[in-house]
Amino acid sequence: MSQTKSYPMWRMRLRRGAQAFALSKQGESCLAWDARTGTPISPIIVWQDARTTDRCPQIAKTATNHVATIARLPVTPYFSASKLGWIMENIPQAAAIATAGHLRLGTTDVFLRDRLTGRFETDVATASRTSLMNLQTGQWDADLRALFGVPINCLPKIGDCSGDLGAVDDLPLVTALGRPASGPVWPWGHPSRADQIHLWHRGLCPAVCRAAMPSSGTWGAANGYLA
């Protein structure tokens, strides 16, 4: 487990009486880091980065239907899978650290949670946007990982979007979510794993889930509502 650091500025910025905090971030940007030190060994490859533009069509020629069936996503540089595969292919240090068992790969939320709480985890909604998760099982898929060249022992544990997600200076992290394209999220209650996958992955306008559960919604380019 990487060592977490003390963040004086974090404590100074907290309002007196705060009982918990949440994490919202851009979901597809990703990087690699050394688990022993927490030091990044790659740049943050943002969602707009097109470095895998040539590779994705090659994958798509033989695996478009496969990816669409398991991950329910198109093969495109937008999602994190091809970016993480690029890191493994193009950064020699990544392969060496992976062989030693100390490489960590993930989206930016994983890095922040690892460094802040000491827990190498992501939420199921963010994982569903990588092209590496089986949407039926809610776990990393072996075929997809092999297709994009991403080793399993370098990926975080997939967990819920809300609940006991760790703590920083005894302040609990209770929610971790991807940010919609043009607006924040207002959660009422604690949306379930299925809620979040439906909202973020389907992107319906509006999207409605009629199961008996609390409501959540977004406004903006990813307009949606769950009730």
Q: Which residues pair with 217 in a beta bridge?
A: 186, 225
For the chain (227 residues), the mean pLDDT of every run of 10, in chain order, is: 48 63 86 96 95 94 91 95 97 95 96 93 93 95 96 95 88 79 41 44 36 39 36
Grouping H, G, I as helix, E, B as strand and the rest as coil, residue 141 is coil
The Cα 201–Cα 125 span in angstroms is 7
Backbone angles phi, psi at 4, to 5 degrees: -80, 155
- The pTM for the full model equals 0.76
The Cα 178–Cα 24 span in angstroms is 6
Name the maximum alpha-carbon separation found in the chain: 56
